[in-house]
Structure 1
């Protein structure tokens, strides 16, 4: 059975494949970005199908989106916490989305029960907003 840190690493490595990334979540698993509300009404998704659509939508906006420079700071069997970065062009604005994420993952029965990510909303707003 996968540990929380193994699931987090699998998720981060598979983010460019929405189906593979979403398949890591439990049927009632949640991908949550609670501080993203300033950028729109969607702050996450619940269940693999909704999570797959959420990730696909992100990749439509930022085709080169990929995580890098992963640092795992907490590694417990059922919980993990890490920091990871993204630097990718947002074609609609011509700006680079440069972001540091912090993610807390809760695992249950070898699946992701919750992945709550925080990010710099000002950096996101600057990258996704036209001048």
Structure 2
């Protein structure tokens, strides 16, 4: 059974495969990016099917989206907190999306119960907004 750190690392490593990344979540598992609500974006998905769809939608516009520079700061058996970065071209704008995420993951029974991520909304708005 995977612990929280193993689950986060597996999620980050599998982000290019939405089905594989989503399979790490519990049936009622949640992926959310609440800071995006300031941009009018509802970035919350519940369950593997919705999570796979959410990740797949992102990859359609940012096909080279990959996490790098993973740093874990707090690790327990069922919780982990860390930072990780991405730098990739946004197809719809031609701009580079350069971002550092802060993520807090809660694990339960070897699955992701909740992954809550924060990011710099200004950097996201600049990369995704057309000029």
TM range (shorter): over 0.9
Consecutive aligned runs of 4 or more in structure 1 exceeding 4 Å deviation: none
Give unmatched runs, 5+ long, in structure 2.
none
Q: What TM-score, normalized by structure 1, do the two folds share?
A: 0.98
* Corresponding residue pairs, total: 131
Where in structure 2 are the equivalents of 1:40-119 lying within 5 Å?
40-119=40-119
Give unmatched runs, 5+ long, in structure 1.
none
- Which region of structure 1 is more displaced relative to structure 2, 15-24 or 31-40? 31-40
Rounded to whole Å, the distance in 1 between the matches of 2:39 and 2:65 is 17
Structure 1 partner of 2:26: 26
CA distances 1:15-45 after superposition (whole Å, capped 9, x unpaired): 0000000000000000010011133432120
Structure 1 partner of 2:10: 10
Indicate whether 1:130 and 2:130 are aligned: yes
Rounded to whole Å, the distance in 1 between the matches of 2:76 and 2:41 is 33
CA-based RMSD of the aligned residues comes to 0.7
Q: What TM-score, normalized by structure 2, do the two folds share?
A: 0.98
Rounded to whole Å, the distance in 2 between the matches of 1:113 and 1:91 is 31
- Which region of structure 1 is more displaced relative to structure 2, 2-11 or 40-49? 40-49
- SS in structure 2 opposite 1:91? coil
- SS in structure 1 opposite 2:123? helix
Structure 1 partner of 2:38: 38
